[in-house]
């Protein structure tokens, strides 16, 4: 009979235990969880604070009794693994309930302690009013403090998914909320020019957002805290929630001599084995291969963690399966908007030295003639000349998740722009257009790769020479042109362009734009078929303004 010890009982531990039992009815399976709950939904913690998830018990996906009754898995809450003796295959355990210690043995050991939140330094006394939001206990403590002191204002440090979800739910609970981010942008997976709609949405819902504001001092101030930002500017709040990232909780593995990567995560092979064949690891504690580049990375996401747990169980039970990498598919609700990303962003593509380009797709989520159509903004990165899809970022409302998932599948399947064109996606006016935005992205990229059009980008506009060496053309309507235009651009609407080709110098390249990129593409095709060299602005005048607002 095989004996399996599992350290950590949340996503990986619970999933691995359940899968192991389904594959092996005879195995002894024990979960050591140092917290007070097993298999809880930590992704739901902010939504209970905001009252969206009303009942705390909704976050408890399984109990110790339930695990035993259904799976015959022994769950020991409040039991912390302290050290591993790899030669003897034993674990030293501390029972936090009574302070005693004991030794337990294993044939296989699964390490899934997760990650620990990073916390900023504070002055003495301030730490009692600073919280992370990582466990049920964290959530309970925050809610208890808010209720006991009738907290009116909270500062949230950070700019990632947890920080934004927490800020949104605090605001929805009627608490004055300030979001403080050390860097100049939110959401690291997104490129900066894509974030203007989110900034507007956050501000319009009452959250004060302070970007490029590293906190240099956190001190107790009466019954609350005072945060000092760079430059001496102060923020006063009743309490602080720190959501500045996580790092692998790999101390146990390090003490046992297991190999760690540069991120501090445990190094595993494709079967999730560590450098010790009898020890496996998965979830937020490991270093994974980023799927597009296959470079090592620490990516803490629940979906990949569950897949890794299943692979461990399969391998232990003699049916090896392999993990191919994490592509970072993630999504977040920010008040009334949805933001999603998958694959690599432009910063990563540049760091990897890839030959790539991008398209910006300004579309709507379903047929324009059907009521309620909403805007959908997409950025899709692709490799040249293959057209392979490398990454995507999307911001919109209903239907944003659907397109993000399609593009995530495209990346996983090594699909190209030509494949996106060929995708047969569900269509009816309430759900999409006959050419879905994903198809449109494929068409735009294919046109570029086939030489049917050339493009330039929002960050190129201000660098274009205004010395007469180029034809600079605005093909919007006269009314649009009068409401705002680029310096040096001449207005010739697309519908009269064929009649005014003689106004352009054929010996000079033409750089042209419209509002969103469609009319300028049509105009570029007209020009190119009449002997001009033409490049149009991808995303158009509208996206240029949006990007400038985000990065400026």
3-state SS, one letter per residue, for 425-461: CCCCCCCCCCCCHHHHHHHHHHHHHCCCCEEECHHHH
Residue among 17, 15, 124 at smallest CA distance from 72: 17
How many whole angstroms separate alpha carbon 191 and alpha carbon 519? 26
How many whole angstroms separate alpha carbon 473 and alpha carbon 486? 9
Q: Taking CA 374 as the corner, what is the angle to CA 372 and CA 378, rounded to the nearest 5 degrees?
A: 155
Q: Taking CA 55 as the corner, what is the angle to CA 50 and CA 60, rounded to the nearest 5 degrees?
A: 110
How many whole angstroms separate alpha carbon 552 and alpha carbon 543? 14
Cα within 13 Å of Cα(166), Cβ side: 28
Q: State the Cα torsion 257-260-264-270 to the nearest 10°.
A: -130
- Residue pair 106/89 in contact (Cβ under 8 Å)? The answer is yes
How many whole angstroms separate alpha carbon 511 and alpha carbon 303? 44
Q: Is 153 helix (H, G, I), strand (E, B) or coil?
A: strand
How many whole angstroms separate alpha carbon 483 and alpha carbon 497? 20
Residues belonging to the chain: 552
Q: Is 1 helix (H, G, I), strand (E, B) or coil?
A: coil
**Residue 209: φ, ψ to 5°:** -115, 125
Residue 260 vs residues 16, 229, 275, 276, 522: alpha-carbon distances, Å: 22, 35, 9, 12, 54
- Residue pair 143/49 in contact (Cβ under 8 Å)? The answer is yes
Bond before 385 cis per omega within 30 degrees: yes
Residue 478 vs residues 31, 125, 496: alpha-carbon distances, Å: 70, 63, 12
Which residues have a Cβ under 8 Å from the Cβ of 424 and sit 6 or more positions away?
A: none
Q: From the centroid of its chain, how far is CA 14?
A: 24
3-state SS, one letter per residue, for 480-506: HHHCCCCCCCEECCHHHHHHHHHHCCC
Catalytically active residues are 43
């Amino acid at each position: 009979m095989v004996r399996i010890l599992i350290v950590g009982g949340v996503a990986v531990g619970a999933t691995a235990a359940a899968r192991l039992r389904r594959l092996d009815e005879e195995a002894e399976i024990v979960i050591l969880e140092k917290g007070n709950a097993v298999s809880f939904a930590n992704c739901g913690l902010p939504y209970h604070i905001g009252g969206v998830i009303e009942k705390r018990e909704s976050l408890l996906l399984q109990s110790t009794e339930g695990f035993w009754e259904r799976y015959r898995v022994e769950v020991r809450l409040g039991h912390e693994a302290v050290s591993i003796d790899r030669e003897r295959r034993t674990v030293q355990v501390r029972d936090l309930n009574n302070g005693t210690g004991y030794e337990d043995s294993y044939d296989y050991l699964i390490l899934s302690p997760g990650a620990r939140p990073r916390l900023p330094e504070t002055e003495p006394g301030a730490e009692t009013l600073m919280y992370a939001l990582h466990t049920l206990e964290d959530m309970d403590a925050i809610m208890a403090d808010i209720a006991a002191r009738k907290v009116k204002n909270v500062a949230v440090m950070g700019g990632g998914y947890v920080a934004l979800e927490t800020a949104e739910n605090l605001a929805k609970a009627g608490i004055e909320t300030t979001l403080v981010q050390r860097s100049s942008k939110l959401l690291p997976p997104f490129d900066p020019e894509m974030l203007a709609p989110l900034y507007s949405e956050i501000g319009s819902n009452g959250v004060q957002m302070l970007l490029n504001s590293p906190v240099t001092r956190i001190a107790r101030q009466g019954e609350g805290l005072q945060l000092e930002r760079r430059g001496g500017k102060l923020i006063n709040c009743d309490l602080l929630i720190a959501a500045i990232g996580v790092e692998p909780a790999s101390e146990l593995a390090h003490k046992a001599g297991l190999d760690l990567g540069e991120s501090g995560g445990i190094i595993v092979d494709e079967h999730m084995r560590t450098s010790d064949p009898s020890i496996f690891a998965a979830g937020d504690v490991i270093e994974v291969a980023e799927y597009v580049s296959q470079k090592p990375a620490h990516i803490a996401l629940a979906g990949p963690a569950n897949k890794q747990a299943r692979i461990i169980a399969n391998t232990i039970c003699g049916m090896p399966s392999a993990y191919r990498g994490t592509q970072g598919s993630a999504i977040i609700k920010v008040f009334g908007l949805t933001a999603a990303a998958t694959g690599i962003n432009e910063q990563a593509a540049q760091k990897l030295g890839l030959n790539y380009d991008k398209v910006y797709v300004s579309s709507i989520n379903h047929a324009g003639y059907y009521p309620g159509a909403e805007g959908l903004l997409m950025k899709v990165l692709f490799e040249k000349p293959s057209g392979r899809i490398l990454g995507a970022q999307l911001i919109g409302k209903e239907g944003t998740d659907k397109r993000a998932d399609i593009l995530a599948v495209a990346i996983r399947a090594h699909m190209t722009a030509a494949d996106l064109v060929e995708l047969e996606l569900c269509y009816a006016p309430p759900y999409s257009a006959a050419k879905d935005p994903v198809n449109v992205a494929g068409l735009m990229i294919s046109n570029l790769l086939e030489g049917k059009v050339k493009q330039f980008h929002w960050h190129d506009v201000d660098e274009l020479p205004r010395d007469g060496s180029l034809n600079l053309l605005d093909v919007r309507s006269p009314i649009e042109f009068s409401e705002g235009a680029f310096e040096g651009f001449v207005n010739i609407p697309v519908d009269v362009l064929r009649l005014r080709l003689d106004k352009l110098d054929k010996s000079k390249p033409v750089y042209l734009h419209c509002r969103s990129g469609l009319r300028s593409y049509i105009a570029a095709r007209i020009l190119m078929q009449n002997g001009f060299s033409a490049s149009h602005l991808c995303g158009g005048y509208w996206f240029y303004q949006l990007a400038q607002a985000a990065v400026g």
